[in-house]
Chains A and B, each alone.
Chain A
């Protein structure tokens, strides 16, 4: 238990600290790197909770794809941090206000934590206990059966996102030379090469 608690405080502490660094560091590349650190430590927290599937997904999707994409964009674009920061102090009071309201709401919820009697029955469904199956297996059991409707609908959303990205960005440019395999294969020797007899000493 002690080791678990220590691990929790380690992961949680690094997560919070790196989250602070994400918003406060001057260099946007450093921000993204700290973001990756925050993701990794959140993944550690998930492992402590026994949700190893979520932990792996967090590492693969967020660190492997999203954060790298961020890094790519940050390096590609010339982001002027000084300019972005100009409004920082100006927005500080309103940001603090929103933060305080959210904090108070959280406190309110914490104070009024009442669970309905039915929750025991509702929570048990449909995932079996962690001791019997790993949660990856448990997810696999329900995702194509119990939640097939949501799974397919989510797939449609991705399809629409793909169509949207193509509609908004694909441009057919004029004058671009493309490879046409059928044209290449149909080409005859006679139309590509001419044999010229060069008289000696005269050149072409």
Chain B
């Protein structure tokens, strides 16, 4: 191990050490330090994001730790949005947790370690580091899902997530062992070389399919989505906000890296599987969401649908496709964080409400919130000129370029069906009579997050280059260019 290795992994080491420091601080001060620990966690996450660009400026692939870890523009891009998503979730949680009397200083620290696991996921260059990172990401998330340990629904959510997560890890490991057996290595570069030299054998295909099943569980793509609605509904809302963004970005980025970098030559083996789960997710996300009355469940189905759209880009298997995936995830982050900022503030006389009907007449009682939610819903439905339209445009055009016209058409149909339930929320807000007004006491930070994400979603088309150029650079690195 050299000094340059440590420098490459420095943001991760920094987060791990800060997490331990905060843990000691929290143990000494007790649960009343939660607010301080939360803000320090946010600060640490932002510092780690800054370190990515200070120490890994070029974006050229740097392989460290004996080939287990890779740092490149693709990893930087994904990590930036992962850290942003996690930091925003922590900011939104501070006030909520205090109001709901869930005061545990470990909560932000667990999120910090989950973010560390996600960063290691997108930097994995070996099946072993992939698995270890995936576990480091999942384990804290199981715990935070059931952080409200006196609530039956919250503990059920955590348990369900844990059991199904363990099952998916098992499938993933089985796939990894098959791949190791048939290529003789766990290193991505060595696997790529073995695939290029020896072709794709049946055993390798089985391995890839099992690996994909495990990863599809992590991105909650159909048919591995069963846990999503229950976990989203049962977990406390800031936790759901975290689940909806950061782990999804990490898992999709990992999915893309695994498919393109070691198995780029074996595209015939995995392309049809990605197409299938993409179609299933889009269809399920748009159809099953229609019957939902709880907004958190609705967001769960919506995120399943969005994962389907993002996978359209991966199914193309081209550089423009991966660029589309990365743009999609970045915009998805802004839309979702904004929406959850609003869901977090849905209170009637101090108690949380989660029904879609509780939003009735929001345009009259709190017009600002209604306007922001309208922007997010129109954007998720994919209505131009909002950001959500462009993210879909990039993935669909990549699919058409790669000759997957049917997939693109199915995607457009699913997005039209999905528009129904997004528009229904807008209808409820603007045209239904208010039953009981939503409290108008949104915390300052949440309000700021809502405003900024709405601004980004609305005006993305004016200056898209930071997101689009970054994604283009990330995709080109993955294809070795």
Contacts and interface: CB of A to CB of B under 8 A. Distances in A.
A119 B190 CA distance: 10
Interface of B: 1, 9, 16, 20, 23, 65-66, 68-69, 104, 106-107, 109-110, 113, 116, 120, 128-129, 132-133, 135-136, 139-140, 142-143, 146-147, 149, 158, 178, 182-185, 190, 193-194, 197-198, 201-203, 206
B9 A149 contact: yes
Contact of B190 (A112, A122, A167, A168): A122
A109 B133 CA distance: 28
B197 A160 contact: no
Interface SS of B by simple majority: helix
Nearest to A118: B194
Given A112-B201, A118-B190, 13 more contacts: A105-B206, A108-B206, A109-B206, A114-B182, A118-B184, A122-B194, A149-B68, A150-B128, A156-B136, A160-B110, A160-B139, A163-B106, A168-B158
A112 B178 CA distance: 12
In the A-B complex, the 4 residue pairs with the closest CB atoms: A119-B184, A116-B198, A164-B143, A149-B65
Interface stretch (A11-19, A63-71, A140-148, A179-187): A140-148
A113 interface: yes
- Size category of the A interface is 20 to 34
Contacts of A123: 184
Interface of A: 105, 108-109, 112-119, 122-123, 145-150, 152-154, 156-157, 159-161, 163-164, 166-168
Contact of B113 (A108, A122, A160): A160
A164 B197 contact: no
Contacts of A148: 1, 65
Nearest to B30: A172
Given A109-B178, A122-B184, A148-B65, A161 B139 contact: yes
A161 to B, nearest CB: 6
Contacts of B143: 160, 163-164, 167-168
Contact of A146 (B66, B104, B193, B197): B66
A123 B135 CA distance: 26
A118 B189 CA distance: 12
B184 A115 contact: yes
Nearest to B178: A109
Given A113-B203, A123-B184, A154-B132, A164 B142 contact: yes
Contact of A167 (B147, B182, B202): B147
Contacts of A166: 106
Given A109-B178, A116-B198, A156 B203 contact: no
Contacts of B140: 160, 163-164
A166 B9 CA distance: 29
B185 to A, nearest CB: 4
A117 B182 CA distance: 11
